[in-house]
Amino acid sequence: MPPVDSTIQRLRELPRPELAEEIETIALEKFRAVLLMDESEDLPLDVSYFDLGLTSLRLTEIRQSLEQLLDLSINVSVLFNEPTIGHLVDHLTQAITDQSQNA
């Protein structure tokens, strides 16, 4: 796996639509791993984390992993106020876009 610095730098340079696709791919990979799902299994973006079978502990693990990989702080309220992978992807895409514009 490439270093975090190179991953986040590469992401910051992407146009927003491509950034959103990359973030979605990364997020789905993390969620599938925690849910013990195969890469080929469908994971809906618009279903609540808890309806997918996640616990608060597992969600915290995913959050920490994404924070580390993306060099971002993810407020816990983001996970519970908008508890779907789709909303999380939108939030992370916006956060990285904002960082890039302020850099």
Write the pLDDT tens digit of every residue in 11-43: 888 999 999 999 999 999 999 999 999 988 999
Per-residue tokens: 90: 């939108």
Per-residue tokens: 88: 């999380």
What pLDDT, in 10s, does the model give residues 34-93? 999 998 899 999 999 999 999 989 999 999 999 999 989 998 888 888 789 999 999 999
CATH superfamily of 4-102: ACP-like (1.10.1200.10)
* Residue type (1 letter), 99: Q
**Non-local CB neighbours of 54 within 8 Å, separated by 6+ positions:** 31, 34, 35, 62
State the Cα–Cα distance between residues 63 and 88, nearest whole angstrom.
10
Query: What are the residue boundaries of the structural domains of the chain, listed by start?
Result: 4-102
